[in-house]
Amino acid sequence: MDIYLNEERPEPMSSQNTDLNDKPAGRPFVGIHFKCCNIYKRVYKNRVGDAYEGACPRCFKKVKLPIGSGGTSNRFFEAE
């Protein structure tokens, strides 16, 4: 049970901005299917911001996807 003093209740959620076009403020990532171990994982942009870097969580095979002009807009990849 919620108790409010002096009728100070929070506003209902319907009054908050729920624009579906707003992008979430999370870290940029791409999805990688590691075929070596048949595992899907997100790989995040490195600190420098010039590549997406990560590793298979099971066998630790490393992947690096450089970011640059002439690249692709794909968000999902497979690693052998």
Residuewise pLDDT in 10s, the chain (80 residues): 555 555 555 566 554 555 556 666 688 999 999 999 999 999 999 999 999 999 999 999 999 999 999 888 899 999 98
Residues 6+ apart with CB under 8 A from 37: 56, 57, 58, 59
pLDDT of residue 60: 96
pLDDT of residue 53: 96
| pTM, full prediction | 0.66
pLDDT of residue 27: 87
Domain ranges of the chain: 27-80
pLDDT of residue 64: 95
Is the separation of the CB atoms in 5 and 50 below 8 Å? no
Residue 52's nearest CA partner among 36, 40, 68, 39 is 68
Tokens of 50: 């010039």
